[in-house]
Amino acid sequence: MSTADPNAYQSLFRLDGRRALVIGVGGIGHAAAAALAAHGAEVVCADRDPATAKAAALAAGARASALELDVTDGDAVRRAADELGTVDVLVLTAAVNVRKRILDYSDDEFDRVVALNLKGTFAVLRAFGAGMVDRGRGSIVVFSSMRAHAVEPGQSVYAATKAGVIQLVRTAAAEFGPAGVRVNAIAPGVVETPLTAQIKNNPEWYEAYAAKSALGRWSQPAEMAGAVVYLASDAASFVTGAVLNVDGGWTAVDGRFTPPT
């Protein structure tokens, strides 16, 4: 975009003529898909649960479609990349967490979290990144977590995978960048989604998390949508390899105690 054309700023966030794929549309992805569609994109809503994918596509509007996709199945990811063809925007939110202390973790639980959060991210980056690199354009947005930066008991494997996701994103940004493909991460704080239902069902735990952020509350999935649209759009044309914290200030402040001043 040239600064010689002030009118171009009006369309910075528009995604008309672009095709977006959102993988994992049960929570944050549901809102992301609707927001991308609202900004003009054709949206494919993908989820391992076909009913979830269809519900997200229905909410996103007439130009949205549904796709059943399990990112832990590498062959299925490669087939989806081949069959979908041109994808201009890719958003990956799919993740799982098993909240247990290290000494209580089983090998199967470790493998399950790593298979989806880390290996699945790698599979998606490799399969869809290849097409974007060949076409010389594209934006990839992968959801990490504030747990990549700040941990607590019971978050070991989840936190490790989300930190690993950031390093995958940075490496992909370095490798895909010369072809014109941008790769960025979003690190949410506490968001009310099915993944955090266990916490919401415990009032003391829920309130403790709300008090930890600078804003003093949890976020809703829709509050992640603006960050997705920004990174997907030309508004972020020079942004790659970045981690955008959308955590209500959680990682910026020490919310354990407010001293008298």
Q: Give yes or no for a contact between 248 and 214, defined as CB atoms under 8 angstroms apart.
A: yes
Could you tell me which residues are beta bridge partners of residue 185?
A: 142, 243
**What are the respective helix, strand and coil percentages of the chain, to the nearest 5?**
50, 15, 35
Q: Give yes or no for a contact between 173 and 230, defined as CB atoms under 8 angstroms apart.
A: no
Q: Give yes or no for a contact between 225 and 32, defined as CB atoms under 8 angstroms apart.
A: yes
Q: For residue 87, which amino acid is it? A: V
Per-residue tokens: 253: 């402040």
Per-residue tokens: 145: 């977590």
Cα distances from 261 to residues 53, 214, 256, 258, in angstroms, run 51, 17, 16, 9
Q: Point out the residues that are catalytic.
A: 158
What lies within 8 Å, CB to CB, of 51 at 6+ separation is none
Give the Cα separation of 221 and 146 in Å (integer). Answer: 15
